[in-house]
Amino acid sequence: MNLKKRIIPCLDIKDGQTVKGVNFVDIRNAGDPVELAKRYVQEGADELVFLDITATIEGRKTFAELVRHISKEINIPFTVGGGISSVEDAKKLLDAGADKISVNSAAVRNPDLVKEISTEFGSQFLVVAIDAGVVDGQWKVFVKGGREATELNVLEWAKRVEELGAGEILLTSMQHDGTKAGFAIELTNQMTDLLTIPVIASGGAGAKEHFSAVFQQTRATGALAASVFHFGEIPIPELKSYLKNQKIEVR
């Protein structure tokens, strides 16, 4: 018996509604976040992520009210992210009941934020989300919802935020996100070999085999997806029994 691999539906939130951007552009509506979250809990999701996708772009402040509602209704851990740029933002979400927060662009702008949040609230509270894209054959960190490339090398950045106190990395490959062609196995594998903190793979899930591949070929402890779950293309109970048959330990 051992630690179970986590299946993590991600709910992108805009104006209190769940949306999913395909390659971060096209958006379809998939309903009320609290209702969807409760359905996922019943189906056996291991954790949930709520990302306020408008936050960074439009400078909107975080969605503490929705977070408060979610924490009353659901009884599994959840992470919230989007536009968190200060210890105060983090504190508001902690008080609202978030188990973890994820920071992305703000950490790139100000790496000390990673240290400040993890010192204040503990590493277990802080997920650093990394949007990875290929520029001239190199994996680079992207910010602002994947719209802007930076000079940062993805693996170097991951190592740095681990040293600064991140408790976990959420690695999204923008090359794979929305393609439904599978996770970024090679990049995820390089990252899990390099780090001692947990890494969640994200971007590209389109079939059950993609989940078994990422768990068998990398040390990722969780896999995140959105649309395949929202639109019922891969029911979570079916995914879990498939993974069990593949000898992958799941709850």
Partner 1 sequence: MVAVVKYNAGNIRSVINALDRIGVESLLTDDPKELRLADKVIFPGVGEASSAMKYLEERGLDEVLKSLNQPFLGICLGMQLMCEYSSENETKCLGIFDETVRRFPEDGIVPHMGWNNFLSHSGVLFEGISALDSMYFVHSYFVEVGPDSIATTDYILPFSSGLQKKNFYGVQFHPEKSADVGQKLLENFLRIEP
Active-site residues, by number, are 12, 131
Among 17, 189, 190, 221, binds partner 1 (CB under 8 A): 221
Nearer residue to partner 1 within complex by CB, 142 or 215 = 215
Residue 61 DSSP class: P
Burial of 89: CB neighbours in 10 Å, binned 0-12, 13-18, 19+: buried
Q: Does 66 bind partner 1 (CB under 8 A)?
A: no
In the complex, what is the shortest distance from the CB of residue 176 to partner 1, in angstroms, rounded to a whole number? 23
Nearer residue to partner 1 within complex by CB, 4 or 160 = 4
Nearer residue to partner 1 within complex by CB, 57 or 194 = 194
Separation CA 43–CA 35 (nearest Å): 12
In the complex, what is the shortest distance from the CB of residue 103 to partner 1, in angstroms, rounded to a whole number? 16
Q: Does 235 bind partner 1 (CB under 8 A)?
A: no
CA atoms within 13 A on the CB side of 192: 22
Q: Does 215 bind partner 1 (CB under 8 A)?
A: no
Pick the piece of the chain touching partner 1 (CB under 8 A) from 2-10, 48-56, 108-116, 171-179: 2-10
Is 121:127 a contact under the CB 8 Å cutoff? Answer: no
Residues 106-135 that bind partner 1 (CB under 8 A): 121-125
Question: Hey, CA dihedral for 90, 95, 100, 101, is it positive or negative?
Answer: negative
**Beta strands at 6-14 and 26-29: parallel, antiparallel or unpaired:** unpaired
Among 12, 46, 89, 131, binds partner 1 (CB under 8 A): 46
Beta-carbon count within 10 A of 237 CB = 10
Among 13, 41, 113, 187, binds partner 1 (CB under 8 A): 41
Closest CA to 143 of 160, 157, 125: 157
Beta bridge partners of 48: 78
Closest CA to 226 of 4, 5, 26: 26
Separation CA 14–CA 112 (nearest Å): 28
Pick the piece of the chain touching partner 1 (CB under 8 A) from 17-25, 102-110, 174-182, 217-225: 217-225
In the complex, what is the shortest distance from the CB of residue 123 to partner 1, in angstroms, rounded to a whole number? 7
Separation CA 127–CA 129 (nearest Å): 6
Among 28, 61, 72, 244, binds partner 1 (CB under 8 A): 72
Q: Which residues bind partner 1 (CB under 8 A)?
A: 1-6, 41, 46-47, 71-72, 75-77, 94-97, 99, 121-125, 167-168, 196-198, 219, 221-222, 251
